[in-house]
Amino acid sequence: MKVIAERGLEATKLVDIARLAGVTTGAVTHYFSDKDAILMAALEMAYDIMFANMEHVKEQENYSFFDIISTALPTTAESRIAMTVWLAFWGRSIAEPRVATMQLEFHHRWQNIVTQELMRHYQRHRIPLPEDLEDVSQGITAQVNGLIIRGLVDGPDWPTARLHKSLRVYLEQVGIHALP
Amino acid sequence: MKVIAERGLEATKLVDIARLAGVTTGAVTHYFSDKDAILMAALEMAYDIMFANMEHVKEQENYSFFDIISTALPTTAESRIAMTVWLAFWGRSIAEPRVATMQLEFHHRWQNIVTQELMRHYQRHRIPLPEDLEDVSQGITAQVNGLIIRGLVDGPDWPTARLHKSLRVYLEQVGIHALP
DNA sequence: TTTATTATATAATGGTGATTATAAAAAATC
DNA sequence: GATTTTTTATAATCACCATTATATAATAAA
């Protein structure tokens, strides 16, 4: 993940991965069938980290919908790397069906969590569920995806505070306040 | 652009480009300094097409804000190819500063047009400009970017109608109706 | 028409890096 | 302690493809 996030997907060589891990290519190839398997493992790990961060928030007794969603934003060094990997693979999913499948699979998992947490929010605050719950959920995801790109590419212009504010404003516009 | 959109950025060979153009690599290399120059030209062309589409809408006597920004959505074969190229290059902009610079440059150009058209919308409909005009504009861009990704990757699930509806709902949520 | 210039094709070169093979070292099993 | 298995390193191979070079064809200029 570190190599991909630093060098980009195409410039990622096995030697670089090995060197960063403090071993040689022999050690790396011993554990993976081929390079593709390594790259796919990196993508999988990126998503795992994101989901783990969400789970971590859920463990708190009082968390808001915002807290859950904002874990996807590239605001920490760790999540920045993870989301950079995420972004790097979109280009590849154009041509490689296996990558596309994995991206979609994880996407739906994410989408489900968002919808679920959205329902929790409404119920907690005694707000009747909107008819277009699914649409609201999809809209939130689109907004978050857009913000992730901004945060990654336009880093200096989009520090954590701005990303958070932007997301908060959006959620308020669709009637979701930031309270736990 | 066609080759990139079909095969992906990394799998794009000079031979493929030449073949699709009906010539050999000799003809291609004669007009470009190197492969990178070809790829950059493709990215530039993708943006040019998008901007041209916007200009085309502007030429109509009655157009809405929605009409302008919906041109970015991958709803036609042409815009689909253009936006696929756009997506493919995000991954590359991680590591290659020249790509990142170009992407940012074009992004700001796009952002300016959105802000401008947003002002036009408010003025046309005698709505006072909101204080956070810039934020609204940025939010719209984030939403559109997110929808572009969905449309490209989740194609069958996100046909033109759904993309349009989703965008329309978002705009209404931020107080922008779809009338010309 | 002749010559110069440009366009295209074909072929040769060379670098890069994944993959594979072999060997040595380390760890586990007996 | 001996031997098998696993791990890691080093080296060799091999394919791929951008780049360069050379040759031919087409067009323009004289």
CA of B142 to C1' of D4 (A): 59
Q: For residue A90, give the nearest of B87, B95, B166 by CB distance.
A: B87
Span B25-52, average pLDDT: 94
Q: Which residues in chain B are closer than 8 Å to A35, comparing Cβ atoms?
A: none
Indicate left, alpha or beta for B94 from its phi (over 0: left) and psi (-120 to 50: alpha): alpha
pLDDT surpasses 80 at B180: no
DSSP A156: G
Residues 19-38 of B with CB under 7 A from strand C: 23-27, 30-31
Can you give the pLDDT at residue A28? Answer: 93
The tens digit of pLDDT for each residue in B99-127 reads 999 999 999 999 999 999 999 999 999 99
Contact B11, A95 (CB under 8 A): yes
How far apart (Å, rounded) are the C-alpha atoms in residues B180 and B177?
Answer: 9
Closest nucleotide over all strands to A13 (CA to C1'): C17
How far apart (Å, rounded) are the C-alpha atoms in residues B90 and B100?
Answer: 8
Q: In a 3-state reduction of DSSP, which class is residue A180? A: coil
Residue A88 to residue B103, Cβ atoms within 8 A: no
Sequence ranges of the domains in chain B: 40-173
Q: Which residues of chain A have pLDDT under 50?
A: none
A26: CB within 7 A of chain C nucleic strand: yes
The tens digit of pLDDT for each residue in A131-145 reads 889 889 999 998 999
pLDDT surpasses 90 at B95: no
Residue A87 to residue B90, Cβ atoms within 8 A: yes
The tens digit of pLDDT for each residue in A79-112 reads 999 999 999 999 898 888 889 999 999 999 999 9
pLDDT level of residue B175 (50, 70, 90 thresholds): confident
Residue B10 to residue A8, Cβ atoms within 8 A: no
Comparing B174 with A73, the larger pLDDT belongs to A73
Q: Which residues in chain A are closer than 8 Å to B11, comparing Cβ atoms?
A: 95
* Dihedral sign (CA B123, B129, B134, B135): negative
**Cβ partners under 8 Å of residue A53, min gap 6:** A71, A79
Can you give the pLDDT at residue A177? Answer: 82
Say which CATH superfamily domain A40-173 falls into: Tetracycline Repressor, domain 2 (1.10.357.10)
Indicate left, alpha or beta for B167 from its phi (over 0: left) and psi (-120 to 50: alpha): alpha
In the block, tokens 């790109």 appear at A149
